[in-house]
Amino acid sequence: MKVTQEKLPNSQVGLEIEIPGERSQKAYEQVVGKFMRSAQIPGFRKGKVPRQVVLQRFGSEKIKAAAVEELIEDSLKEAVSQAEIQAIGNFQLRSAFDELVTQYQPGEALRFSASVDVPPEVKLGQYTDLNVKAAETKYDPMQVETLLQAQQSERATLIPVEGRPAQRGDVALVDFAGRLVPEEGSDEVGEEIPGGQAQDFQIELSEGQFIEGFVEGILGMTVDEIKEIPVVFPQEYPQEELAGRAATFTVTLKEIKEKELPPLDDDFAQEASEYSTLAELRSFLETRYQDEAKQKTETSIETALLDELLKGLEVEIPETLIGNEVNHLLTQTATRLQSQGIDIKRLFNQDTISGMRERLRPEAVTRIKRTLALAEIAKQESITVEPQAIEERVKELLERYRDQDVDTQKLRGVVEEELLEEKVIRWLQEHSHVELVPEAAISQAENPTESLSADEEVTSTLEASVLEATVEPEATTNQEETKAAEATTSNPEVLTNE
């Protein structure tokens, strides 16, 4: 068998294969024999169908197609082995199959073209003495105080208030109904806002929780007062039909309560966490926030180094690797959503899966580039991972997931790759120059219009993770607190500014 290969774009090898006539004849005879042995034709016993009957019954084109298919499959495997090609993924036939079947004559040579993905060639640019700037996240002691104050507020007792108007910090019980303001010049009555009505709605009169102007309009109201409060939905409002629209809410104030905060003492710590004293809780939160800040800084350094490393990287990534990485990201997403109780069958369907693949493709390409670059550095600098370290990490993970069915061999491979990448990144950091700069400076330089919202999102995530780890859910102790909890969880979405 004659095999000619050529290098193709996107890390592919093209193969031109010529199958000799003797082999093409043999393949044809073998296929005919299979049909003769397996055909079930009335009037003939199975395995005793004459050759001519088989040819007439199934037709020469179908038999030739089966022979061509076998010839292609067998010769491709042999060609890859013969040429010592390290193939990844499946072969792609470059010749038209129908044309091959038409051209195929048993006993004559068969020529066809195919391609196969191969591991990409990685050319590194500069990877030592890199100069990068990374955002430094510093621990802010106020994070602990803010978190404790938020928990203190959540555990406050609500005390009815009489003889004064509503003021900031109060909790108000209201009825409301909203209507859109008609377009200028229209005589029509404004239409009701879907989801913009509620009774016995409990609202905390503080900033940032609701549409701008709603809380401000309630401030100064007295019990039983009815007031028209004008608002404008923000342009970025998630319900597009309401974005930017003016509206009026008719609000009836039914009750005012003020919060009586519990003291920040050891009893509070025991109620809010697993710790016996407030000092222990503070110490834990301080350590947790310090660790979070350190981890964010380390992640920023790693990202900066990898981004700089990829600037000089030259590599053509085969589609097989991209497809595999996209599948991996999809699986990660599905697993995470499923763990949150979300029905992934409704999210992952034929209508959404292609769009998700397209959106994940850039991230997949970046991840592959990083992996390839780090692996090439490990190769050039002879960086390896000690077998003992791999086994220790595998043992730790198997213990953590002992209730799950884990492929130990596959896990060991993943662990080895992860540990190697960690080691190469440490090597990169030791051989580079990293300048730590304030977090705000990096975020504003990259995206000055969105840095504030991004910072707020990070802070929110940090606080949520700390709370989840330390603070137990609040237990409702009386009917008033139960009612407050129900009101909070049933807030109409139309009022929120998220």
The pLDDT tens digits of the residues spanning 154-209 come to 899 999 999 999 999 999 999 999 999 987 766 566 788 888 899 999 999 988 77
pLDDT higher than 80, residue 71: yes
Beta strands 88-93 and 110-117: pairing type?
antiparallel
Is 323's pLDDT higher than 80? Answer: yes
User: CB of 432 within 8 A of CB of 130?
Assistant: yes
3-state secondary structure of 173: strand
The predicted-structure confidence for 360-391, as pLDDT tens digits, reads as follows 999 999 999 999 999 999 999 999 999 999 99
Tell which wins on pLDDT, 253 or 192. Answer: 253
Mean pLDDT of the chain: 85
Q: Say how far apart CA 446 and CA 437 lie, in whole Å.
A: 13
Task: Kindly provide the b/e burial profile for residues 286-298, where b requires at least 16 CB atoms within 10 angstroms of the residue's own CB.
Answer: eebbeebbeebbe
Is residue 450 within 8 Å of residue 412, measured between CB atoms? no
pLDDT of residue 56: 85
Mean pLDDT, range 469-474, rounded to an integer:
33
Number of DSSP helices (H) and strands (E) in the chain, helices first: 16, 11
Dihedrals φ, ψ of 377, to 5°? -65, -45
Maximal C-alpha separation, the chain: 107
**CA gap 223, 161 in Å, rounded:** 10
Among the ranges given (187-191, 324-328, 330-334), the one the predictor scored with the smallest mean pLDDT: 187-191
Tell me the three state secondary structure of residue 198: strand
Least confident of 34-43, 174-183, 282-291, 411-420: 34-43
Looking at residue 482, its pLDDT comes to 28
List, as one string, the DSSP characters of 333-387. Answer: HHHHHHHTT--HHHHSSHHHHHHHHHHHHHHHHHHHHHHHHHHHHHHHHT----H
Average pLDDT over residues 240-263: 92
Helix, strand, coil percentages, rounded to 5, for the chain:
50, 20, 30
Between residues 491 and 186, which one has the greater pLDDT?
186
Contacts of 285 (CB under 8 A, 6+ apart): 143, 144, 147, 148, 466, 470
Give Cβ neighbours of residue 451 (< 8 Å, ≥ 6 apart). Answer: 440, 443, 444
Q: What is the CA radius of gyration of the chain?
A: 34
Q: Which helix (H) or strand (E) holds 246?
A: strand 246-260
Which of 54-68, 248-262, 385-399, 438-452 is predicted least confidently? Answer: 438-452
CB 108 within 8 A of CB 68: no
CB-based burial label for 403 (10 Å; 0-12, 13-18, 19+) = exposed
Average pLDDT over residues 139-163: 93
pLDDT at position 103 is 92
CA distances from 161 to 164, 207, 221, 479 (A): 7, 21, 13, 18
The backbone region for 341, taken as left when phi is positive above 0, alpha when psi lies in -120 to 50, beta otherwise, is: left
- 98 alpha-carbon distance from chain centroid: 42
pLDDT of residue 189: 66
- Judge if pTM exceeds 0.85: no
d(CA 441, CA 250): 45
Domains of the chain with bracketed CATH: 2-117 (3.30.70.1050), 157-260+476-495 (3.10.50.40), 268-470 (1.10.3120)
* Residue 188: per-residue pLDDT: 65
